[in-house]
Amino acid sequence: MTDTTYVGAVDQGTTGTRFIVFDHEGQVVANAYETHEQIYPEPGWVEHDPMEIWENTKAVIQQALGQAGIAPSQLTAIGVTNQRETTVLWDADSGKPVHNAIVWQDRRTTDRVEALEEEGKVEAIREKTGLEADAYFSATKAEWLLDNADPIKLERARPEDIRDRAEKGDVLFGTIDTWLIYNLTGNHVTEVTNASRTMLYDIHDLEWDDDLLEEFSIPEAMLPEVRPSSDDDTYGTTDPDGFLEAEVPVAGALGDQQAALFGQTCFDAGDAKNTYGTGSFFLMNTGDEAVESDHGLLTTIGFQRSGEPVQYALEGSIFVTGAAIEWLEDMTLIEDPAETAELARSVDSTDGVYVVPAFTGLGAPHWDQRARGTIVGMTRGTRKGHVVRATLESIAYQTRDVAEAMEADSGIEMRSLKVDGGAVKNNYLCQLQSDIIGSEIVRPVVDETTALGSAYAAGLAVGYWDDPDELRSNWQVDAEFEPEMDRDRADRRYERWNDAVERSRDWARDEEE
């Protein structure tokens, strides 16, 4: 049976949408990808067109199945993983968005978050949600959309405004998982990991929080039902009369970073992974205990299987890592990311140059929304190689920032870190990361762990895989990297990094004044 059946995963990311088909061994059978437009209406604002994302989703599913000669009926289930926090509001009648999606990177609600800080509401938000009050999360984005979305986009004349219609459940809220599941199945659901990133969900009581809904003026009628990440009851099936012409269960979903945790088989307390994408996201499984952070990390939901307790995680969100490599391309310092290793090796050191890529502020453990990108230590002798090497080193230093906070909060010394994402194909970066963090770095054979995690969640729900032990047996090591740098040298360089970070902080405030 499993020789001719598969599980598919929609991996909807910040820059594009991918559909991957996996076989029973967790190996990639087919893979298709489409990018979507990045929309920047104003400085610090980032939007996506939800309809473009949905059209691309349909396209990549059909492309992947076509290239492998797989019929939709051979898919036992579909899983969904998504860019988290990105927020969509849409008309329940037409299914059309009322505005572009506001992306997780967007900073337009920074003033609203600062008002929360001034009103002394941050601690109460952290206690319920495990999150720092930040424009990063969905609550202030949804609030902004309800206040500012253009009623013309509803494409029909209505006497009520969007907020009135939301009170009746005629305008729906969702993160990207919800938007895709709605379009795939017709059902308005999310799952616990994505709900935990909205800043509206109590991660201890596992319910939408009335006080937070009131604070952000979010009507409960517009919210999706919250379900397990791997749902034996499934979220619904695709329409046999729709684009797939088949009924395929949509049975699993996870926010992208929790999906990578699941795909890396980090099922036990103390297991940790770091995903290097546009940003980097470092998660450690803390079991059924929601560990409160004293060091600037987020307490979040890691995953939940049907009928089982929620598994929690500590998370360090680094806003810019892969995006720093893209910046090097934008600045024409490199033509291709593959050049970075060669350029970095062309110099013996950064020659005292440090790059702090705080282009959208600093995430964990600093949480400074007004920090900005900074280069310090340049001299007349500074060359391209120094800046490129310093940019790669910034990725490693930011990860150590989070690793040290993680160990302090959890009390667990991390001896090994599983890594995934596009940047880990760079052996130079992996070795550098091991040197700076002082731990073993382990890279798996299948590096599409985000898509794999959502496939695993969906496949477990429908019985394609029996249990997590079967998934562990699929996981294989591609390469391991052990620390080679002298520890004192690594520590000195890290201390200097901290000096550079201080110079980047609170910069945007001065600029506005």
Would you list which residues are annotated within the binding site for ATP?
14-15, 278, 322, 422
* Helix, coil or strand: residue 64: helix
Which among 297, 325, 332 is positioned nearest to 425, based on CA atoms?
325
* Helix, coil or strand: residue 287: strand
Q: Are strands 189-191 and 225-227 parallel, antiparallel or unpaired?
A: parallel
Nearest 10 degrees: Cα torsion 458, 454, 283, 223: -80
Cis geometry, peptide bond prior to residue 365 (ω within 30 degrees of 0): yes
Lay out the sheet containing 47-48: strands in order across.
47-48, 101-102, 87-91, 171-175
Q: Which residues are annotated binding-site positions?
A: 14-15, 18, 84-85, 136, 256-257, 278, 322, 422, 426
Dihedral of CA 127/315/496/372: which sign? negative
Query: How far is residue 392's CA from residue 325's CA, in Å, rounded to a whole number?
Result: 8
Q: Which residues are annotated binding-site positions for glycerol?
A: 84-85, 136, 256-257
CA geometry: angle at 51 spanning 46 and 54, to 5°? Answer: 105
* Helix, coil or strand: residue 37: coil
Q: Which residues are annotated binding-site positions for ADP?
A: 14, 18, 278, 322, 422, 426
Q: Which contiguous run of DSSP H or E holds residue 32?
A: strand 28-35
Query: How far is residue 410's CA from residue 413's CA, in Å, rounded to a whole number?
Result: 8
List, in order, residues 6 or more apart from 214 with CB less than 8 Å away.
Answer: none
Q: Which residues are annotated binding-site positions for sn-glycerol 3-phosphate?
A: 14, 84-85, 136, 256
Query: How far is residue 93's CA from residue 83's CA, in Å, rounded to a whole number?
Result: 25
| DSSP sequence for 347-375 | SSS-TT-EEE--BTBB-TTT-BTT---EE
Query: How far is residue 181's CA from residue 183's CA, in Å, rounded to a whole number?
Result: 5
Which among 2, 5, 23 is positioned nearest to 72, based on CA atoms?
5
Cα 25 vs. chain centroid, distance in angstroms?
25
Query: How far is residue 422's CA from residue 18's CA, in Å, rounded to a whole number?
Result: 14
